């Protein structure tokens, strides 16, 4: 394992810890955002263990192969403690707009006004953990998401501030 992937794995662990401490009461009994999560390379082994054959690669981005994640059932995530970073961040995300990268909150989350109050104060910390290797994967994922996620194409998000690249 090279030092960059080692650093990214540590950052990912810290990000998981951070999100495990934020309790989104609003997300109880809601899986409205559970479409097609994507996975970082550093998450792939764990995700293969749970998603098994339900993973596809699109332009070198690993993601759930179904438009509706199969772990979404009865209003809950069946793998909540193992869900990928993409799911932990939502409705917060990094987007590309007019050639720059931005932190944004997707309005497709019905509770986005409430959740952004928890997420915005964490942006500086989350950003400090995003390594070059992780962001390179974000750049690829953003290109795929722009094509595949209609709320992105339709601008159904609120821009918070510019993303500071690592």
Nearest to 61 by CA among 90, 39, 36, 89: 39
Shortest distance in whole angstroms from residue 57 CB to ligand SF4: 18
Tell me the β-bridge partners of 102. Answer: 95, 162
Between 15 and 69, name the residue whose CB sits nearer to ligand SF4.
69
Between 95 and 115, name the residue whose CB sits nearer to ligand SF4.
115
Shortest distance in whole angstroms from residue 133 CB to ligand SF4: 22
Distance CA 127, CA 144 (A): 21
Q: In the numeric block, which tokens belong to residue 60?
A: 């070198």
Q: In the numeric block, which tokens belong to residue 162?
A: 């510019």
**Contact assessment for residue 50 and residue 81, using Cβ atoms and an 8 Å cutoff:** no
Instruction: Using CB under 6 A, list all residues that contact ligand SF4.
Output: 24, 26-27, 30-34, 37, 69, 71-72, 77, 79, 83, 87, 90-91, 109-111, 115
CA angle 161, 165, 166 (to 5 degrees): 135
Three-class secondary structure of residue 106 per DSSP = strand
Shortest distance in whole angstroms from residue 132 CB to ligand SF4: 25
Between 12 and 34, name the residue whose CB sits nearer to ligand SF4.
34
Shortest distance in whole angstroms from residue 129 CB to ligand SF4: 20
Between 6 and 121, name the residue whose CB sits nearer to ligand SF4.
121
């Amino acid at each position: 394992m090279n030092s960059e992937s080692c650093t990214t794995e540590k950052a990912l662990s810290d990000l998981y810890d951070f999100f495990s401490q934020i309790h989104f009461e609003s997300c109880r009994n809601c899986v409205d955002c559970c479409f097609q999560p994507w996975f970082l390379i550093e998450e792939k082994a764990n995700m293969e263990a749970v998603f098994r054959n339900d993973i596809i690669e699109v332009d070198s981005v690993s993601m759930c192969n179904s438009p509706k994640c199969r772990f979404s059932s009865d209003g809950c995530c069946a793998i909540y403690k193992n869900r990928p970073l993409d799911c932990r961040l939502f409705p917060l995300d990094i987007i590309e707009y007019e050639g720059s990268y931005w932190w944004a909150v997707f309005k497709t989350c019905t509770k986005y006004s409430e959740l952004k109050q928890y997420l915005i104060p964490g942006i500086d910390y989350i950003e400090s953990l995003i390594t070059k290797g992780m962001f390179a994967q974000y750049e690829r994922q953003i290109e795929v998401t722009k094509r595949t996620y209609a709320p992105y194409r339709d601008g159904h998000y609120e821009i918070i501030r510019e993303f500071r690249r690592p």
